A and B are shown apart, each in its own frame.
Chain A
Amino acid sequence: DTEVTQTPKHLVMGMTNKKSLKCEQHMGHRAMYWYKQKAKKPPELMFVYSYEKLSINESVPSRFSPECPNSSLLNLHLHALQPEDSALYLCASSQNGAPNTGELFFGEGSRLTVL
């Protein structure tokens, strides 16, 4: 199993809603990542979890709240988002716990629209 699975694939939410994006991998990888990607732009790093602990937060607004319940799961909780937060949210994992010391495996992303 070499997949990173993200759900949902598409999400539409209002600015007052609370929703969550989910990511799962069963490759035994020890680092997991959240990226945000706008159209025709590269993915921008948001968070990195290493051995289930938050190791990097790229100054992301608190309306985005990551959670790593166990080594296979990564969540991104969303609350009071703005329309400019509409984007593709990509989850990735890598085998080594030290961030980006090996291949990144990406999911297909969750397309978020904030109305």
Chain B
Amino acid sequence: TQLLEQSPQFLSIQEGENLTVYCNSSSVFSSLQWYRQEPGEGPVLLVTVVTGGEVKKLKRLTFQFGDARKDSSLHITAAQPGDTGLYLCLRAGKSTFGDGTTLTVKP
């Protein structure tokens, strides 16, 4: 059973557009990690969110952790082709990733 649901599963947009990716669970988790996997490489950690309601920014990426700590979102502003990749969420204490969102940003 997949504990983390990500949406959308696939997303193809033009350079410069904004987008949001979601990671949802039916249970509360203490913290959540977001990873990005570029083609031909292993996943790399982007951020860890810990506190309910927390917002973290990483250049054009904004991460939010829901107040109830059951959901998280990743917003990318003015997407660039270099943002292309598989975005994965992972809850603390578990080693099972969410479904993943495959993002393609076209120049």
Contacts and interface: CB of A to CB of B under 8 A. Distances in A.
Interface of A: 4, 33, 40-45, 48, 56, 90, 92, 99-101, 103-104, 106-109
Contacts of A43: 43, 88, 97
A42 B45 contact: no
Dominant SS at the A interface? Answer: loop
A92 B96 CA distance: 13
B79 interface: no
Interface in B11-29: none
Contact of A100 (B41, B90, B99): B90
A103 B50 CA distance: 13
Q: Which 9 A-B pairs have the closest CB atoms?
A: A106-B42, A42-B97, A42-B100, A45-B95, A100-B95, A103-B45, A106-B43, A90-B42, A99-B95
